[in-house]
């Protein structure tokens, strides 16, 4: 069974609830954004569920654990991936999920703590 034909369950972390199931044509990684019924979510975790068939385990379903989010306006390309915020700041977390410790909600442009790294 191919990944693009697998059922993907979308689970909201807080409050913990299943939002629904969908078949995706891409493999979301933690930190990716997902549009689902007009709402934007950040993928926090991806789990694979396997099923035993004819003596072998086969990938049966994918579960995505998400939280509500808004797409960040500021992104930087670092080492082949997008990170939130201005990566030239020494406080930037270089993460797809969090901008930095001192100003996690941003924006980077008007941040008083900005330090060129």
User: What's the pLDDT at 3?
Assistant: 47
d(CA 92, CA 83): 9
Instruction: List, for residues 41-95, the tens digit of each pLDDT value.
Output: 999 999 999 999 999 999 999 999 999 988 777 888 888 777 888 888 888 888 8
Q: How confident is the model at residue 1 (pLDDT cuts 50, 70, 90)?
A: very low
Check: CB of residue 99 under 8 Å from CB of residue 93: yes
pTM: 0.69
d(CA 12, CA 44): 10
Instruction: List, for residues 3-27, the tens digit of each pLDDT value.
Output: 456 799 999 999 999 999 999 888 8
């Amino acid at each position: 069974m191919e990944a693009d034909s697998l059922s993907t369950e979308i689970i909201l972390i807080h409050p913990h609830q299943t939002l629904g199931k969908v078949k995706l044509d891409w493999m979301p990684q933690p930190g990716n954004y997902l549009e689902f019924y007009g709402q934007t979510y950040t993928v926090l975790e991806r789990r694979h569920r396997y099923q035993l068939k004819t003596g072998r385990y086969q990938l049966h379903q994918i579960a995505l654990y998400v939280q509500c989010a808004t797409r960040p306006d500021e992104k930087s390309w670092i080492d082949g991936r997008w990170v939130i915020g201005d990566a030239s700041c020494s406080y930037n977390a270089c993460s797809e999920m969090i901008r930095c410790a001192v100003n996690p909600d941003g924006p980077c442009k008007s941040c008083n703590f900005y330090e060129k790294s």
